Every structure is written in C-alpha cells, then in structure tokens.
C-alpha cells in the first residue's frame, strides 16, 4: 500500500472481478445495439479500458474531458468541457463511463449535453458511487461499488494528478490534502 494512503478500500482482485460482472451485464442489455462508450477523462481511462474488454459486443468508444475540480478535493460546481467527442452520437446507444459519481453536478451537465445530441439511449456506468454527497437526483444504471464519503485515489482517480496509476482504490490520508 502507498504510504499516503490510510487504507485500501477496494483491492485489485475485487475491482477486476466487479468490472467483469459489469461487462457481462452490459453485454446482456445491449445485444444487437449500436453502443458507444463515452469515457470521461482522465479518471475513467483505466476503468474504460478494462470495461470495454469485458463487454462481449462490438462497441466503439470516444472520450470527453470535463473539469469541475482542478487541484481541489471539492467540486467547484462549474463544469467546463475541455475536450468534446470526436464522433457523432446521434441515434446511438450511449453509455457514459465515469470513475466516480459524487455530487452528480458534472454528470447532470453531461447528461443534458449528450441528450441534446439526439441519442437513442443514454445510461451511466460508474466504477464508484458516493450517494451521500449527491446534490442532484442521479442514479447510475451500472455501478461498481458504493463507497462512503472519503477521499479516494487510485485506478485513475487522483489528487493533484498523483496516484492515478495505483491498481486499487485507496483512501488518501487527510494530512496529504490539507497541507
């Protein structure tokens, strides 16, 4: 375990097993459909990569980059699209792939934005869900793990661009982000 972590919340074995389960669920739900996975950079990238390999369908993917945090541990509430989709999604079945759903403000903005593009369907797949912090009524359609209100890093999640490469989800020690 990394020295800046208080504990490992979800170890690598549990993480990969749950992603395989999510892949099986999505495979069953989307037979015969034109599916595009929309990964939200940067945090969702490891999850997106493992999830798409666990889906036994022809799927395509695209990436968006949005920001509402910066180098803070709390969302600013202001969402900015830094990188938009390269592909057209009109008429497609879209699954937003997120690393974590926290307040839901960023995701709420994305849902409205992507719905306006005349998609066939739009669902959310998140690795982590923190419903205790929700400020808008959003419930992921596919959820890896529900977690308590702790600051987590690893497997794509960061604090000030660090810890993304950890192969598990850990709880960051408070003294690391309150310096």
Q: What phi, psi does 35 have (nearest 5°)?
A: -100, 135
The pair of three-digit structure tokens given for residue 22, joined into one six-digit string: 């999510």
The CB density around residue 179, as the number of other CB atoms within 10 Å, is 5
Give 159's DSSP letter: B
Under a CB-based contact definition with an 8 Å cutoff, are residues 115 and 98 in contact?
Answer: no
- Of 156, 136, 131, nearest to 146 by C-alpha is 131
| CA–CA distance, 44 with 98 (Å, rounded to integer) | 5
Give 127's DSSP letter: E
* Candidate list 102, 129, 149, 158, residue with the active-site label: 102
To the query of whether residue 102 is one of the catalytic residues in this protein, the response is: yes
Quick one: the chain helix, strand, coil %, rounded to 5?
25, 35, 40
Distances (CA, A) of 140 to 13, 46, 69, 101, 104: 23, 19, 20, 8, 10
Give 133's DSSP letter: G
**Which residues are marked as active site?**
102
């Amino acid at each position: 375990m990394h020295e800046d972590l208080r504990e490992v919340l979800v170890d690598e074995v549990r993480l990969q097993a749950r992603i395989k389960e999510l892949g099986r669920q999505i495979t069953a739900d989307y037979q015969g459909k034109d599916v595009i996975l929309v990964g939200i950079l940067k945090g969702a990238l490891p999850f997106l990569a493992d999830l798409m390999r666990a889906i036994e369908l022809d799927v395509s993917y695209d990436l968006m980059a949005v920001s509402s945090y910066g180098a803070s541990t709390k969302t600013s509430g202001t969402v900015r699209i830094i990188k938009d989709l390269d592909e057209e999604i009109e008429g497609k079945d879209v699954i937003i792939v997120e690393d974590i759903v926290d307040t839901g403000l960023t995701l709420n903005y994305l849902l409205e934005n992507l719905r306006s593009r005349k998609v066939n369907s739009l669902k959310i797949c998140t690795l982590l869900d923190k419903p205790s912090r929700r400020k808008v009524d959003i419930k992921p359609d596919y959820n890896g793990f529900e977690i308590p209100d702790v600051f987590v890093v690893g497997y794509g999640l960061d604090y000030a661009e660090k810890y993304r490469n950890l192969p598990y989800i850990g709880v960051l020690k408070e003294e690391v982000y309150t310096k």
